[in-house]
Chains A and B, each alone.
Chain A
Amino acid sequence: MPEPIRLTIDGRSVEVEPGTLVIEAARRVGIKIPSFCYYEGLSLAGACRMCLVEVEKMPKLQTACTLAAAPGMVVRTDTPQVAEARRAMVEFLLTNHPLDCPVCDKGGECELQDMAFRYGAAESRYREAKHHVPEQQWSPVVYYDRPRCILCYRCVRVCDEGMGVGALGVVNRGGRSEIAPNRGDHLECDECGACIDICPVGALTSGMYRYHTRPWEMAHIGTICAFCADGCKTTLGVYHNRIIRGNNRDRSGLNGEFLCIKGRYAADFPHHAERLSSPLVRRDGRLVRATWAEALALVESRFREALASGAPIGIIGSNHTTNEENYYLQKLARQGLRTPHLDHPRTGDLPALMAAVAGREAALARIEDLYAARAVLVAGADLAQQHPLLSWQIRANWRHHQARVYVVSCGPVREDRYAARSVRVAAGRELEGILGLEESLRTEPELVVVFGEAIQGEQVARLVAFGDSLGIPVKYVCLVDYANSRGAADMGLLPDLGPGYQPLERSGMALDEMLECADLAVLWIVGANPLAGGVRPPARFLVVQDLFLTDTARRADVVLPAASAYEKEGTVTNVCGEVQRLRGAVSVAGAKTDLEIFTLLARRLGLETGPVTWEKLLDEISSSVPGYQVSAAALRAGVPQQVRPPRQASPSRRGKVRSARDTLFTSGTLGRYAAILSAVREAPGELYRG
């Protein structure tokens, strides 16, 4: 470690590492220096001049955001000269800024408003006509209002550096400067909305939120995004029981300020017009509305018949239900309904990885490892499309730490642009591509390997053996598709493995086998849509539990309306095995949480007595599932808890692994019900084109 530097800020002595900026050094001791253009993690702009401070022996005021701390430096942020400079800067920024705060979306959470309040003058001396430019719509997501813009370049930098997209620029000069989109009058980009959330004023606003409500009228509920498996925290803004927006402006959670279009704007699906609001039962070939009592009685009777006759029952679980629900479902299936036929649509070969790294405490990478590791290998995945947070982390790692990035894929990916090496292989030959990198990888001090479904089965064991042979610490991430795909496998929604990948004495049918089995008395499909475009499975009775009348639900005998992830409490586990807490944001009339439906059925079948809560189930999971010893208190406080690989684990020998290969703008069946995802028209990533 280099010698720390000591400097004085407002009479307080501060010790920082060499290279620390004065603005950061001040923050360290609780002195807030105002700024617009400075944004931690992005390149320096020195554009807004809000952060001017006095430095002894320097003749003029200095911008604290571009000034590196030096030994013995004496900085003052509280002098009359600094206060005057700030007042002048705010006045200058307000010369052409419209005073439309009462109708501006940003009003109440606007940095310019806050700074005018704190540092600004009460009166403006500007008497000229303001330069007006009409508002522009650049995409279904992004709107730009030039007069409000203070040209801090945050949006330009976050898009270029953070996202690696570079869809925004600044055109013209001086007072006529404005932000411009990359396609003349519109944007072609990830539509993530990072530019909107990072905007310190109301210049960039979102199609989803604009003119809907005021920030202080909403409840703000921090939960975990319901779409991909990265597990981003999103703070849902709820007004009158409707989700109006998602954001992560407070940079909390494992994703910092990152969110993609799904986390920010796809949270409207709970309120979709086609949302099921009552159970449906099939009468005379048609699905008709029924009461919960009728529907549950019907399901109960079919289960009772099957149990009495010994006919097999099949259960397909979900990639979206909570860990507690998944755990309870497998218990209900195996102990209550005494059936081994349990599976879920598998999107990555987690059991194979767990078996290969069983007992190794440090074998699984966390989201933050992708930002910290000296080298990262991405194999068989277009992260920018499928796992945008991982892509963001790796890009930031490269920008801030010059991490070396290796890519093995069958088509171009965003990481190519800065990869130390990119290897193109034919689809299915990814492992060979990785083995070919041996010489380079051997020279790295450490490595994180991120692999997609292209590597599965015994190839995973070969990959881990290869990692071992490198003689460096290697961590792994096995990519899976959805919000709790990891949790579904961890909780044992598998035909031959119980919770924690423990082998079962009696293995059951895998998903595909169940869909073809004519002997099944009941097939119960929870939150999954395996019959998309297909035919009805030959099971005698089909129960489907879901949010919408999906392709699968249409073929059911009984449909039970379930609550979404944004309507329930519990925990989910992300692609890196980090357990986080879901918080209910809204309630939708008619729907019940999956857990409630499970317990209602269990009670009817005489299998459950007394109340079942997610907290109790989490306690049970944490004391009984190998690797899941997580602290419920920490989860409640919003700290992600990474689970460990079990001491012993088995690969799954039944069933198939298939990724849905979603893009930024699709997300399996759920994605179809998020209006914004189908409203944008961007081409998906190169890897999935054509």
Chain B
Amino acid sequence: MKFSEQTEAKLARLVESYPPDHRRSALVPMLLFIQDEVGAVTPQVVEEVCARLGISPLEVEEVVSYYSMLRREPAGRYHIQICTNISCMLVGGAELFEHACRKLGIGNHGVTEDGMFSLEEVECIGACCWGPALQVNYDYHHHVTPEAFDRLIEQLRGNGLKQRGT
């Protein structure tokens, strides 16, 4: 499996940052970089990562099944993660999540039919002072009311498929 020049450069730097007998330490960031490009940790990705790091598929499986940020199925172009943990919940995070479900017509871990949006209810994203907070791909949005959410969705729709990740 070959990735874009940019990703390959990142991966090359990554592998070099660990001693030769600790290459497996590169596993988590490597999976994240590749997921950003491919959209998910597919069986082909697992195979490729095993070959590059000299580890077994089971070792990759352990990590992928543990971290919720690693996905086996591609998310939408805009992956929306809404925090419903205590701080956000107190200021309407749960309601925001329910609103988002209605607005997008999908549930937790769902993807809209056009592949534009996916939704995920997440634990604390470290933006407690600015709740309710959500993340679109790697971008944070603070004090998100249902109205602000609708505006955000319209704006992202306007962007179309131009942007992926950051």
**Contact residues of A with B, CB < 8 Å?**
166-173, 180-182
User: Hey, which chain A residues are within 8 Å of B62, CB to CB?
Assistant: 169-171, 180
Q: How far is the CB of A347 from chain B (nearest CB, A)?
A: 34
Residue on A with the closest CB to B64? A171
Which 5 pairs show the lowest CB-CB distances between chains A and B? A171-B65, A169-B58, A182-B58, A169-B62, A172-B65
Q: How far is the CB of B4 from chain A (nearest CB, A)?
A: 30
Residue on A with the closest CB to B57? A182
Contact with A along B46-79 (1 / 0, CB 8 A): 0000000000111101100110000000000000
Q: How far is the CB of A286 from chain B (nearest CB, A)?
A: 55
Residue on A with the closest CB to B65? A171
User: Hey, which chain B residues are within 8 Å of A180, CB to CB?
Assistant: 58, 61-62
Q: How far is the CB of B61 from chain A (nearest CB, A)?
A: 6
Residue on B with the closest CB to A178? B65
Q: Is there an interface contact between B56 and A172, defined as CB atoms closer than 8 Å? A: no
Q: Is there an interface contact between B65 and A167, defined as CB atoms closer than 8 Å? A: no
Main SS at interface, chain B: helix
User: Hey, which chain A residues are within 8 Å of B58, CB to CB?
Assistant: 166-169, 180-182
A-B contact count (CB 8 A): 25
Residue on B with the closest CB to A181? B58
Alpha-carbon distance between A182 and B56 when the two chains are bound, in angstroms = 8
Q: List 12 A-B contacts (CB under 8 A).
A: A168-B58, A169-B58, A169-B61, A171-B61, A171-B62, A171-B65, A172-B65, A172-B66, A173-B66, A180-B61, A182-B56, A182-B58
Q: A171-B61, A180-B61 are in contact. Are A166 and B56 (CB under 8 A)?
A: yes
Alpha-carbon distance between A190 and B30 when the two chains are bound, in angstroms = 31
Q: How extensive is the interface on chain B, given as a class?
A: under 10
Contact with A along B123-141 (1 / 0, CB 8 A): 0000000000000000000
Q: Is there an interface contact between A171 and B57, defined as CB atoms closer than 8 Å? A: no
**Contact residues of B with A, CB < 8 Å?**
56-59, 61-62, 65-66
Alpha-carbon distance between A173 and B61 when the two chains are bound, in angstroms = 12
Q: How far is the CB of B57 from chain A (nearest CB, A)?
A: 7
Q: Is there an interface contact between B66 and A169, defined as CB atoms closer than 8 Å? A: no
User: Hey, which chain A residues are within 8 Å of B57, CB to CB?
Assistant: 182
User: Hey, which chain A residues are within 8 Å of B65, CB to CB?
Assistant: 171-173
User: Hey, which chain B residues are within 8 Å of A173, CB to CB?
Assistant: 65-66
Q: How far is the CB of B86 from chain A (nearest CB, A)?
A: 18
User: Hey, which chain A residues are within 8 Å of B56, CB to CB?
Assistant: 166, 182
Alpha-carbon distance between A382 and B15 when the two chains are bound, in angstroms = 32
Alpha-carbon distance between A530 and B29 when the two chains are bound, in angstroms = 59
Residue on B with the closest CB to A156? B62
Q: How far is the CB of B108 from chain A (nearest CB, A)?
A: 16
User: Hey, which chain B residues are within 8 Å of A168, CB to CB?
Assistant: 58
B56, B57, B58, B62, most chain A CB atoms within 10 A: B58
Alpha-carbon distance between A172 and B63 when the two chains are bound, in angstroms = 8
Q: How far is the CB of B50 from chain A (nearest CB, A)?
A: 12
Alpha-carbon distance between A577 and B62 when the two chains are bound, in angstroms = 44
Residue on B with the closest CB to A176? B65
Alpha-carbon distance between A520 and B129 when the two chains are bound, in angstroms = 98
Alpha-carbon distance between A172 and B70 when the two chains are bound, in angstroms = 12
Known: A169-B62, A182-B58; 13 extra A-B contacts, CB below 8 A, are A166-B58, A166-B59, A168-B58, A169-B58, A169-B61, A171-B61, A171-B65, A172-B65, A172-B66, A173-B65, A180-B58, A180-B62, A181-B58
Alpha-carbon distance between A166 and B57 when the two chains are bound, in angstroms = 11
Q: How far is the CB of A419 from chain B (nearest CB, A)?
A: 13
Q: How far is the CB of B155 from chain A (nearest CB, A)?
A: 34
Q: How far is the CB of B44 from chain A (nearest CB, A)?
A: 16
